[in-house]
Each structure stands twice: as C-alpha cells, then as structure tokens.
Chain A
Amino acid sequence: MPDVSTTFAGIRCPNPFWLASAPPTNCGEQVMRAFDAGWGGAVWKTIGEPITNVSSRYSSIDWNGQRMLGLNNIELISDRPIETNLREIAEVKKRYPKHAVIASLMVESTREAWQDIVQRSEDTGADGLELNFGCPHGMSERGMGSAVGQVPEYTEMITSWVKEKARTPVLVKLTPNITDIRQIARAAKRAGADGLSAINTINSITGIDLDTLEPRPNVDGLSSHGGYCGPAVKPIALNMVHQLQNDEASRLPTSGIGGIGTWRDAAEFILLGCGTVQVCTAVMHYGYRVIEDLIDGLQNWMGEKGFASIEDFRALSAPKVTDWNHLNLNFKIVARIHAEKCIGCELCYIACWDGAHQCIHLDNAHSTPPAIEAVSRARISVTPIPKLDRGVPSGAPPARVPRVDEDECVGCNLCALVCPVDGCITMERIENHLPRKTWEDLVNGTPHS
C-alpha cells in the first residue's frame, strides 16, 4: 500500500488532504469529526477580532443540471471569540496529536496585533500558522485580507513581523485577485515564509435573479462581490500553482487550493509541485466523507503507477509546462474517427465547420451545414407501419460516420473534445520526419538538430 503520509514545510500529517480554512473548520467539534473521517489536517477558520456576518452568504453556479459547479461566498472570518477558537484548537491538538492543525490568522496590520496572535496561537500547540492575506470580500475593505495580499510591501512587512515571533512554520495564503501572483509570493519568501497556500477565492458575482433583477447571494435586495471556488476554479488555481513552482524567487512548499474535489484533482496539484492540498467546496457539498475516496483513489493510482510515496511523484509534471516559445512547431497530429464507436451525433462535424477549420465532412461534396440540414428537412418521413410498408426498405437511419480530411486537419483537438464517446475520436501523430523546431528557434535562426 503506497504511503500517503507526508511532511509539508516541516509539518507532519498522515495524508496530504487538509481542510481549507472555511466553514468546515469553524469549530473543534467539526474538526474532530473530520479527523475521525480521515482528514490529514485542518486549517482553522480564520481567527481574528470577531465579526458579524450577513444572511444569506452563498450562491452557486449550476451547470447542465449539476449543482454547484462553482460556489461563491460573502462570509467573513470566524464570528466566534478568539479565546474560544484557541481553546478548541488546544483541545483538538491534545486529542489528535498526529494530525496537522494550522491556525489561520487575520488581525489589524500592526506588529503588536500580529505578534500577539502568533504567540497565543502557538501556545495552543498548533502545528503551524497560515496568514490569510487572501480573503477578497469584506475584510479587504477594512485593510485586511486581500488588501494586504495585493501589495507586496504589506505582505513582506507583516510576514516578517510574524516570522520575528513564530516558532512554527508560517504559510502565506495568496490571493489570485492580482495581475501576477509571483510578486506577492516573492515578497513572502523574502520575509522568510516557510510555505505558501494558493489560491484563495476569486472575486466574483455569480449571477442575477432574472425575476427580481437582484444579484445573488441576496442580502435584503443587495449583494456584494464574493469569493469564487469549487470545480470551476481548478484550472486557474493549477496555473497559479505552476507559476509559483516555476519561479525560483517564489518557490516554496505549496499547499494547493482551488476546486479540488477528487483524488484526481489532488494528484494534478501534487504533480505540479504541491506538498499538500486543501479542500472546502466538496466538503460543503457532500460532507467530510469525501475523504475516503480522496485517499483510496490516490493510493490506488499511486499503486498502479508504482509510486511509493507522495514525494515519488510530486512535481513530476512541473517541467512539462513550458513557455509557448518552446513548443515544437513541427509536431503534427490529426483526428481519427473510429467508425465502430461513432454514434452519429455529428457534433464533430458542426464543431469543425463552425468552430475550427472545415476539415470534417459528411459527404464527398464537402457540403456546408445549411445544405446538409436542407436535405434532411426536405425528406418525407412517415411512421413505419409494417402492414403498410411491406417490401419498403427499413426506415432505420444509415450509420452517419463523418470523415476527416487529414491533409487539412490542423490537429486542434476540438472534435475529440466535443465527441461524447470515449475513444471514438483519437488524435494521432503523423510522422513527418521534420526536426523539432520552436518559435524561439525561428526567431533566433538556430534550429535544433
């Protein structure tokens, strides 16, 4: 059985799955149930001077009948007294010494306030600290959260105050609501941060009720921009995680966050270099029990791939993301449609004609989509009645397998992406015997051998 225990920025944990700082980590009772369910760590709901929340707080994006493709929230940090949170952290740590408990912190931007909360948090026995410089709503209007995380100088200053005091590892949680996330990461690293958590939620307005014309989530007729998370944000998070890992001045142990709901998502974040991952939306949707498949799926995959530990595959894919300039311009693939799997939906045809390069055809005349539709509409169809139709050929529609003009195909993948059948359209390499050549080579006039 592959070993999923890990040590992240000096913090030991039984597995790399942590609960992100959010409603699932509001209180000790919740965190203990989460650890019982199998979670490896928890970043406590951000502690600071208690706030007052609004109702309602969440709204979501549903897609094609599926709920919560993306989730948006306007909830603030913990609304419970600092002492209560710290007392419960101490209790959880005492009962679950092997699990990672991280105190997430956000206080006013003074050295005294930060160093005081650092001291009190560490006195609980917490394994580390996460500085919440990312929260995009509410707190930022009070000079905290992303108001800090959007200014490298503030990030560096507060991180260094914390580092003066802290004895446990310090993680800086980064906001994605910034042009270049590396600027903030570099500031955190300069100040001595031990690790990064990325990404926090993305500024968003999820939608507007078309009956009332009021935006969601609705608070007495008004709304506010909130933090977006859930499966929809994963690609954005993966890119930012990669930016951090690919930049020497930013690179620190990173806890990946953003749309992680399955073990597959987790594996991808780890393959790009993350040491742990943090989960929130999936738990808010289905409960702590999702941890079972997160661990089980990851272990099964590791076993199949021959990875004995997290470190065995961490960052293996990071070097495979490069600048466009380094991509081989002489690499040629084309679409192949496997007739025996084709169900005749012709989505590849219309996608290629209207969205790509007009190289998938239904006939030899290269008819346009309107011409094809006109033929069908002009056809007389009747209900097949065996008694009346004796001797008439069956009305069963013929197989409708489109044809790829491989000479014209640019290998864009679109047809394979829209095809509803797994393995029906494959993109296959065409051996053109041309040497590897990149844009950089073209510009420099120095082709590779």
Chain B
Amino acid sequence: MGGSVPFAFQDNAEVARRFPDLHPAFDSNQALTEANRCLNCFDAPCAAACPTHIDVPRFIKKISTQNLMGSALTILDANILGASCSRVCPVDVLCEGACVMLRYNKQPIAIGRLQRHAMDHFWQRGARLPKKSTRKRSQKIVCIGAGPASLACAAELAQEGFSVTVIEQRALPGGLNTYGVAEYKLRPPDSLREVAMIAELGVEFRFGVSIQDESDLAALEQEYDAIFIGIGLGATQKLRIPGAEHNVNVIDALEFIARYKTASNLTVGNNVVVVGAGNTAIDAANAARRLGAAHVTIVYRRTESDMPAFGFEYEHAKQEGVGFEWLAQPVAIHADPASGRIVSLECSRMGSNFQLPCDMLIPAIGQTPLSLLERCHGPKYYSGGDCTNGGREVVDAVADGKRAGVAIAKSFEAAYA
C-alpha cells in the first residue's frame, strides 16, 4: 500500500487463522468473467439502491476492460470507504438485491466482490486518493468520532482543500470498521489502511480525546468553523433482570468483538449465550464459535420471523453451528455465590421456565443513543451516521458524512456569495 499505516496495530496471526475471508477475493479471470456478465443497465437499480450511489455498471465495465485504476476511482468518487464497504455491505438488501438478474432467474452480479477486486488493485498499486480541488481553503472543520461518517465527511472536505481534524476517544480510527465488524468480513489492518489514505489527504487525527460536555463543545466552536458529529451509538444496553449485577463473565457484544479483533484477547466460554437476534448478536455468536466455544445459543424473545438480523446473516450463523432459542424471554441470571461467575441463564417460554447452562453471557440487545447531540446547537453543527440515523450500515454512514461534507463546503461558498 502507499505509505505506512500511521496507527499502531499489532496483527494477530491466530485471529487471521480463525477468521478467513467469508467471501474470498476474485482472481483476475474470475473478475473478468463476472464483470462481463453485467448487463450494464441504464439508470441501474444497483446504483440507485446504493446509499452512496456508486455508479456500479461503470466501475464493473472498467473491470471488464482491465481499467482497474479507473474502476477504483469511479468507486472512490462516490464512496471514499469503497474498500471496506465492498466487504461489509449487506449487498443482498442493497445493490445485489436490486440487480435485474434476479428478475431473470439468474444469480445477481457479485457487485461486492467486484468492488473489492478494483479496490485491492488500487491498494496494490500504492495509489493515493485524488484531490478534487487544488484550492487551499481557509476554513477549519472538526469531525468528532473517527468512524465511517466522520471519515467520509473529513475526506470530502480535505479533497476540497479545507483543513480537517478528526477527534477520536479510542486509540485507533475507523470506528466499527476497526472495532466492530466481523473479522471474516473486514480485518482491522484493512480498515486502518483505508483510514491511512484519508490521513494522506492531510486530515489530522487526534486520538484519546473525549468530547463530553458543553465546555468541550464551546472550545471546539471557538477553534473551528464547522463541527461534524459522527459519534455513533453508545454501549450495548444492559439486561434488566435479577442477577444482572453479576459481571465476571458477562461481556457486551461489541466489547467482545472489539476485544478479539484489536486486543488479541481470544477468551471465550464453552457454553456461550447471546441475548438478542440482531446482526451484532450474530457476529458475536459466530465469533464465539470460531474462537472455540462448544455451544453457542442465541436467545430471542420473539419468533424466527421477527428477528432483526438480515436473512443471510441468520443462514450464516446456522452454518457456523449457532443454536437458536425462539420465544425465550430471559428472566434471571444465576451465578455461583463463591466465585460470582454466571452458571446459567433462566428463560421463560410461554409461561414455563428453563435453564440454559452459561459460562459466558453476551448481551446484544441494541445500543443506547448518546446524549451529546442534544447539546449541539447552532449553524456550525452537522451530524450523520449511526448517531442520527438510529444505527444502519457503514455505507449509510458514508453517505451521511459525504452529504454533510458537501453541505459544509457549500455553506462557506454561500457565506461569501
């Protein structure tokens, strides 16, 4: 890749071994064949379905002509995180779900994997992100949080020549791309090298800085001409049942995922119970299996058809050997009094209770919104990503961030008009 990653991260070979790519890279002949299958629709539904409106037929046709650099730049023009999106997007409900091939009883074009093919080439060639303007702009913008929304906003503004600073309370940038995406979709080194390209645009990163209250915000308002809030959502909600005070072998899903991905902590129980059936719950359950848990059970209070996880994620979890308990309402956590360690989760199904043996309990029942946004008032503030859209996908955050970046740039133009 171009330049070294300016972020200290120690790759872990054991994690890489346990989480090989779910969708391996195409080789060039596979990519060519798949690219040639694309019909090159006019006003293509795949591009319309993409929150960042990547011109999908255009980048695919460029793969078919072996113009891979042009293909990557087509992707990046719409979506600065095109590399990570190619791996983490739920393409079944986005571009590939809109592919006209589905109306023709044919496999949709493997848009995600083709996008990855082009972006891998971009990295292998050591290419840099292009600037959109050679003008040097006087305004300074700060983005709070270094997740996809802020990165997209920062990149857009840096490409236009503005001075941009990204503030992040954690040690590494990338947000959920680095800390929260299942390892077999996107590994931290790949997330970080994508951020490194944005840093090469001149974006300044400050880590370990937390913005908490009005005084922090006031200081930022003093220094910056615009402030983008891309802080995502807060911690996983706590279970509110008897025994919830035990915390020895309880870990919230996002923390569990971040721990194996970025802290080389591969600790896992043997009887793991995950509460909740969203996409994060699935990621945590699959990870527990791959880290060596013999039994992993997802407990969900409603039915299979109500589960919020995408259908393809559910299918994947079944293949990983995850068990499911439907219509199971957790009612109590039982711990060993001596050690304080949880030994079972008591659940209720239609009035009758049962015990699930449990030596690691992973709540995954949704994140709590953060309150910072409520304290942001005035024309300098913009926001996007999970903290405003309620928690969608990386690509939605990128779309939000880019739109905010365009709007911020435009606001300065208007001021001088």
Contacts and interface: CB of A to CB of B under 8 A. Distances in A.
B104 A420 contact: yes
A436 interface: no
A362 B41 CA distance: 14
A54 interface: no
Contacts of A343: 100-101, 103-104
Given A345-B41, A373-B43, A387 B103 contact: no
A338 interface: no
Interface stretch (B45-53, B188-196, B345-353): B45-53
B47 A345 contact: no
A430 interface: no
Contacts of A69: none
A381 interface: yes
Interface stretch (B31-39, B143-151, B404-412): B31-39
Nearest to A369: B42
A383 B93 contact: yes
Interface residues of B, number: 35
Q: Which of B39, B43, B51, B53 has the most CB of A within 10 A?
A: B43
Interface stretch (B261-269, B314-322, B354-362, B391-399): B391-399
A137 to B, nearest CB: 29
B284 to A, nearest CB: 17
Contacts of A400: 43, 45
B392 A388 contact: yes
Interface string B78-116: 000000000000100110001011011000000000000
B64 A345 contact: no
B2 to A, nearest CB: 22
Interface string B148-167: 00000000000000000000
A346 interface: yes
B269 to A, nearest CB: 28
Given A372-B43, A397-B98, A381 B50 contact: yes
B33 A347 contact: no
A165 to B, nearest CB: 54
Nearest to B30: A65
A381 B48 contact: yes
A347 B42 CA distance: 6
Given A65-B32, A383-B94, A345 B390 contact: no
Contacts of B98: 397
B367 to A, nearest CB: 12
B40 interface: yes
29 contacts: A65-B32, A65-B36, A65-B64, A343-B103, A345-B39, A347-B40, A347-B41, A349-B42, A350-B42, A362-B43, A373-B43, A376-B43, A376-B48, A380-B51, A381-B48, A381-B50, A382-B392, A382-B399, A383-B90, A383-B93, A383-B392, A385-B390, A387-B278, A388-B390, A395-B49, A397-B48, A397-B98, A400-B45, A420-B104
Interface of A: 64-65, 343-347, 349-350, 362, 369, 372-373, 376-377, 379-388, 395, 397, 400, 420-421
